[in-house]
Amino acid sequence: MSTANPSLTYANSRIDAEMQAILDRYLPGRRPMSVDDYDWKTIRPETVDRDFLEAVGFVTLVEANPKDPGGQIIKAADRSNAPWLRRFITQTWLPEEGMHHAPFKEYLIRSGAYDEGFLDDEIAKVVDRGFVHGAGYSELQATTYGWLQELITWRFYDSMRDYLLFQATDENPADPVMVKILADIAKQENFHRHVYLTGAKTVLKHQPERKGEVVTAVAEFLMPGHHMAPDWQPKAPVWSEKFNFPLKGVIHDIAHGMVELTGHRGLGQAAILYGARNHIHWYLRPIVALLRLLSLPPASPVNHLAGRLIARAF
Ligand SMILES: [Fe+2]
Ligand SMILES: [Fe+2]
């Protein structure tokens, strides 16, 4: 189903044809999850601790408003003449993301962790806050943001699931419903990650001069929860430690994805810019500030060297 849109440039239509072919292959047959997919009689909330339930509360909230980020990505797709990205968001991403909060919410209500009124009030606040990232982004910046966000979300759900399985014993088996919810959602997040990363690679294959857009999107990346659920997000480091979130593996994936997209130079530049813009411990700050000065020209050998060191470390 390749597009014959005359307003697309040659490079855009090549990118679009390749991505539409990938979507043709993967999208048919996908379906959003439903609360009815789970056997609610079998839940075992007594096996789940309070920290875990709070983490489920947090992800229920950040999953509850995909319309705002989806709208931003559609705007980015239209701004950049990328019909494939509009198709992915409208046909798959929004319908799938639109259901992620539903089984979590059902679980929290049935387990008695939170009542429905409290969750609905918190969700209303999340919807009010909206989504602040990516205003004015190109399709390449939006897919870069999406790649990182989906990667971290996928791995977070996997670590929650592994935590439940690790805690389980023969006498006290893990809650089968929560294990299945986490597995089902994680699988979809991983698919979204794959499409975004493939999209970014395909754009750069045809327009390699646009690597700088990936660098800026990575350098200013923040998980959406900081703005969407600011009262809950500060507990994320506690949860990631408790669930054994694979931070090193995630950094490895980001570093190697960046090398594929932008080369060592782009990875080094993004890391240095990220360090200069975000909270860094005082003992590293002078080094980051110095590196930032040295890194300003995009072709600086410092960027290349920093990128090589990071890629080798992970
Ligand atoms: Fe999601
Ligand atoms: Fe997702």
Calculate how far, in angstroms, residue 286's C-alpha sits from the geometric centre of ligand 2: 37
Calculate how far, in angstroms, residue 17's C-alpha sits from the geometric centre of ligand 2: 23
pLDDT at 312: 78
pTM of the model: 0.90
Mean pLDDT for 101-116 is: 97
Check whether 113 has a pLDDT greater than 70: yes
Q: Which ligand is nearest to the CA of 150?
A: 2
Lowest mean pLDDT among 83-92, 136-145, 195-204, 263-272: 263-272
Calculate how far, in angstroms, residue 306's C-alpha sits from the geometric centre of ligand 1: 33
Question: Residue 258 in contact with residue 266, Cβ under 8 Å?
Answer: yes
Q: How far apart are CA 114 and CA 117, in angstroms?
A: 8
Calculate how far, in angstroms, residue 45's C-alpha sits from the geometric centre of ligand 2: 25
Mean pLDDT for 91-116 is: 98
Check whether 39 has a pLDDT greater than 90: yes
CA distances from 300 to 37, 260, 269, 270 (A): 53, 19, 9, 13
Encoded tokens for 216: 């800026």
Interval 248-259: pLDDT, tens: 888 889 988 999
Mean pLDDT for 21-34 is: 97
Structure confidence at residue 265 as a pLDDT band (50, 70, 90) = confident
Calculate how far, in angstroms, residue 55's C-alpha sits from the geometric centre of ligand 1: 14
* Half-sphere exposure at residue 141, Cβ-oriented, CA atoms within 13 angstroms: 19
Per-residue buried b or exposed e for 119-134, using 16+ beta carbons within 10 Å of the residue's own CB? beebbeebeeeebebb
Q: Which ligand is nearest to the CA of 196?
A: 2
Q: How far apart are CA 137 and CA 217, in angstroms?
A: 9
Mean pLDDT for 60-68 is: 95
Calculate how far, in angstroms, residue 97's C-alpha sits from the geometric centre of ligand 1: 5
pLDDT at 285: 60
Q: Which ligand is nearest to the CA of 66?
A: 1
Q: How far apart are CA 281 and CA 13, in angstroms?
A: 46
Lowest mean pLDDT among 46-55, 206-215, 275-284: 275-284
Structure confidence at residue 194 as a pLDDT band (50, 70, 90) = very high
Question: Residue 17 in contact with residue 2, Cβ under 8 Å?
Answer: yes
pLDDT at 249: 87
Q: Is the dihedral of CA 207, 189, 247, 220 positive or negative?
A: positive
Calculate how far, in angstroms, residue 269's C-alpha sits from the geometric centre of ligand 2: 27
Interval 160-173: pLDDT, tens: 999 999 999 999 99
Surrounding ion ligand 1 within 5 Å at CB are 63, 97, 100
Mean pLDDT for 35-59 is: 96
Check whether 3 has a pLDDT greater than 50: no
Residue 48 falls in which region: left (phi positive, over 0), alpha (psi -120 to 50) or beta: beta
Task: Please report, to the nearest 10 degrees, the dihedral formed by the alpha carbons of residues 43, 49, 54, 56 taken in order.
Answer: -40
| CATH 1.10.620.20 holds for 10-245 | yes
Structure confidence at residue 96 as a pLDDT band (50, 70, 90) = very high
The whole-chain average pLDDT of the chain stands at 90
Structure confidence at residue 293 as a pLDDT band (50, 70, 90) = low
Taking alpha carbons only, the member of 188, 165, 176, 11 closest to residue 98 is 188
Check whether 303 has a pLDDT greater than 70: yes
Q: Which ligand is nearest to the CA of 149?
A: 2
Percent share of the chain, pLDDT over 90 = 69
Check whether 2 has a pLDDT greater than 60: no
pLDDT at 223: 87
Calculate how far, in angstroms, residue 209's C-alpha sits from the geometric centre of ligand 2: 28
To the nearest 5 percent, what fractions of the chain are helix, strand and coil? Answer: 75, 0, 25
pLDDT at 284: 59
| Residue listed under structure tokens 């050998």 | 301
Please report, for the chain, the start and end positions of each structural domain, with discontinuous segments joined by +.
Answer: 10-245, 246-314
